[in-house]
Structure 1
Amino acid sequence: MRTVTNKLLNGIGILAMGAFIASCNSPMGLSTGVDADAQLASSRGISPVASSLGLAETFAVFGGGAGVTNQGTMTMIDGDMGTTGASTMITGFHSATFSYAETPLNVGAVSGDVYTNAPQGTASDFEYAKLVIADALIAFNDLASRPDGIDPGAGQLGGLTLVPGVYKSASGAFLITGSDLTLDAQGDPEAVWIFQMASSLTVGTPLASRSVILVNGAEAGNVFWQVGSAATINGAGGGTMVGTIITRAGMTFSTAGNESVTTLNGKALSLTAAITMVNTAINADGIPDEVIIEEPVVEPIVSAVTITGSSAASVVAVPGDGFIIVDNDGGLVTVTEVGTGTIDIDNDGGIMTATNTGNGIMTINSDATGVVTVTNTGNGNVTVNATGAAAVTVTHTGDEDYVYE
């Protein structure tokens, strides 16, 4: 009897010792109240494989087919930006090449390239943007398909410390609102976290921002958020989010009037809807570098000008983005377009010479009997309607079509 009792006690002692060792090896910070299966799965620290982003890898922001909007003067985007919508759907930004509806109160710097549809995007830009969003969708579906996801905090991730793994919200939504979330790589720089949610992601509250903290070798490039609807990131302004966020609907960073900069060390990719931000810094490579961008050189905008000539020559040069109207009833007219403006020429007089070396739009209506010579070496559109000309010469070496009637 004593022998049996001793064996039983020894067995209990072994189990107790095993439980003690397991508790010592489990990651710190897993909140109390987490179910046993979640505790066990999280303590294993099994890292999934990162998802490939394809062409979307270099993009800091992609606003689906609805664009990207910025408010505030402290927004800085380190990486590429895109939308499959028109370039007019990007507002409050500038790159090294173009300005996108910036105002003195809404200024956002983009260090990389901007890919959109017309008018500021080219046909090749638009095709590339469509390939990028296709790759983002592939990554979204891949992340959503990962098995064995657990919900370690009943949808609330604030206050937890999580090791690598797949985490899936049971309710469909994840929150980081109570306090910050910590991701612990346990010394593995290849550690990966995948968060799956059928509906929404909310970080912070309207009154308090929250952050995701990386420790023990964790890297922002290995954190992925697959969001079935929309994401709201720190509506109060401030705070630091990390990882690649891919949403089926839109995404918002901060709210109007907040001066504290909200940071995302990662990527914001919306498959369909717009991304809006207020004083936001997004670093595509996950490293919060200082973004230094030269302001684009903007030529003085020429306001609407009307020039009428009865006999003397009229010479008009358009170096900026202005709109020029030329109404010639008389002598020689020479027009040169070197900017991105629009020129509307109505020639009822003599010889007409027009040269377009920029990206502007030129429309020529000539009822005169003189010679009409048009040279287009830029990327602008040229339309020529010369019904009464003695001779018409058109030289076209640009990328856009011209129309001759």
Structure 2
Amino acid sequence: MNPAIVVVPPGPPLVAPPGGTLVPLAVASTFGAFGGSAGMTNQGLLTVINGDLGTTAVSTAVTGFYNTKPTNCRYTVTGANAGLVNGSINTAPPPPTIDCPTEGTGATEAIAIAARADALTAYNTLAGLPGGFDPGAGNLANLVLAPGVYKAAGGTFMIQGGNLTLDGQGDPNATWVFQMAQSLTVGGPGVAFPQSVVLINGAQVKNVYWQVGSAATINAGGGGTMVGTIIAQDGVTFSTAGNVAITRLDGRALSLVASVTMVNTVINVPAP
């Protein structure tokens, strides 16, 4: 593994407003995962979403999830595929089962539509920020990055061959934005070797953003900890079927169009 390299972006660091966030997510802020207009799929029994789940698609596009708030609502749960959502599940009608009349309604569809609209606004805001540069020629592994805007020169970012460290430099409002016209890949090389994002010196989960022009793949081999709000056009995938090692996201996985798929994944939505 290469030694860590400290990279300081040119110009003033990017910081969120005191006590707030750089990009308000509004309705989308409570969602751990949002599957655009295509839905969400879970495989495995170890998935836990500490936040809300949503899609503008019908309830049958959500598979392998259940929640206990306000009632026990089940979305194509099987003996091998059951992910707990410690929040609400918001989809278009119909309700997922006869025993769950409070979800899959016009009201939950309206919440999903609003969340998708707010996620799109945030995506466009992130994509429009100026001044980004590429500190590792597309690979962010083994870097220690100060707050700032980072843009993938070749259109893709990866974290392969080591972890990425974000240094808050003692400022709890320090903010990082990673812009890419195409894909984000965390983990590897290959399907093994999970990689993580590490926060130090006051860096906070709520102030890390990933604007992904196509799809994001997070630790295909399972394991590792990803950090930040991922807003992707074409879906987010965590781990691969059959993996038992838990893949963790401290943040949000918001897809504008395609689905979010996960295998034994824990997502923790950050506090505001």
Task: Give the alignment's TM-score, normalised by structure 1.
Answer: 0.61
Percent identity of equivalent pairs: 54
Encode CA deviations 1:12-44: one digit per residue, 9 max, x unaligned: xxxxxxxxxxxxxxxx9436xxxxxxx5635x6
* Distance in 2 (alpha carbons) for counterparts of 1:140 and 1:204: 24
* Distance in 1 (alpha carbons) for counterparts of 2:15 and 2:155: 21
* Distance in 1 (alpha carbons) for counterparts of 2:248 and 2:230: 13
* Distance in 2 (alpha carbons) for counterparts of 1:45 and 1:148: 10
AA matched with 1:130: I
- 2:78 aligned partner: 103
* Distance in 2 (alpha carbons) for counterparts of 1:91 and 1:277: 11
* Distance in 2 (alpha carbons) for counterparts of 1:125 and 1:236: 34
- 2:213 aligned partner: 228
* Distance in 1 (alpha carbons) for counterparts of 2:41 and 2:9: 40
Structure 1 or 2, whichever has the larger Rg, is 1
Go from structure 1 to structure 2 and tell me whether the alpha carbon gap of 1:30 and 1:274 turns closer, same or farther (over 3 Å shift).
same
- 1:204 aligned partner: 187
* Distance in 2 (alpha carbons) for counterparts of 1:72 and 1:40: 40
Encode CA deviations 1:326-373: one digit per residue, 9 max, x unaligned: xxxxxxxxxxxxxxxxxxxxxxxxxxxxxxxxxxxxxxxxxxxxxxxx
Which of 123, 143, 146 is the equivalent residue of 1:163? Answer: 146
* Distance in 1 (alpha carbons) for counterparts of 2:88 and 2:207: 24
Q: How does 1:275-354 map to 2 (within 5 A)?
A: 275-285=260-270
Query: What value does the CA root-mean-square deviation take over the aligned residues?
Result: 1.5
* Distance in 2 (alpha carbons) for counterparts of 1:116 and 1:40: 42
AA matched with 2:78: T
Which of 179, 188, 212 is the equivalent residue of 2:171? Answer: 188
Q: How does 1:255-274 map to 2 (within 5 A)?
A: 255-274=240-259
Which of 125, 133, 141 is the equivalent residue of 1:142? Answer: 125
* Distance in 2 (alpha carbons) for counterparts of 1:91 and 1:234: 21
The alpha carbon displacement at 1:285 in A equals: 1.4
* Distance in 1 (alpha carbons) for counterparts of 2:245 and 2:118: 33
Q: Does 1:114 align with 2:89?
A: yes
* Distance in 1 (alpha carbons) for counterparts of 2:187 and 2:260: 18
Q: How many residues align?
A: 252
Tell me, yes or no, if the aligned pair for 2:8 and 2:145 is still in contact at 8 Å. no
- 1:93 aligned partner: 65
- 1:3 aligned partner: none
Encode CA deviations 1:159-188: one digit per residue, 9 max, x unaligned: 100000000000000010120000000111
**3-state SS of 1:128 partner:** helix
- 1:80 aligned partner: 52
The alpha carbon displacement at 1:247 in A equals: 0.1
Which of 156, 173, 177 is the equivalent residue of 1:173? Answer: 156
- 2:100 aligned partner: none
Q: Does 1:67 align with 2:50?
A: no
**3-state SS of 1:73 partner:** coil
* Distance in 2 (alpha carbons) for counterparts of 1:231 and 1:286: 23
- 2:9 aligned partner: 41
* Distance in 1 (alpha carbons) for counterparts of 2:184 and 2:8: 25
Encode CA deviations 1:51-98: one digit per residue, 9 max, x unaligned: 111110111010001111000000000001000001001110101131
* Distance in 1 (alpha carbons) for counterparts of 2:199 and 2:12: 15
Task: Give the alignment's TM-score, normalised by structure 2.
Answer: 0.90
- 2:108 aligned partner: 125
AA matched with 1:86: V
**3-state SS of 1:226 partner:** strand
User: Which contiguous aligned blocks of 4+ residues in structure 1 show a shift greater than 3 angstroms?
Assistant: none
Tell me, yes or no, if the aligned pair for 1:265 and 1:286 is still in contact at 8 Å. no
More helix by share: 1
**3-state SS of 2:44 partner:** strand
**3-state SS of 2:174 partner:** coil
- 2:29 aligned partner: 57
AA matched with 2:196: S
AA matched with 1:236: G
- 2:98 aligned partner: none
Uncovered stretches (5+) of structure 2, i.e. residues with no partner: 17-21, 96-103
Q: How does 1:360-399 map to 2 (within 5 A)?
A: none
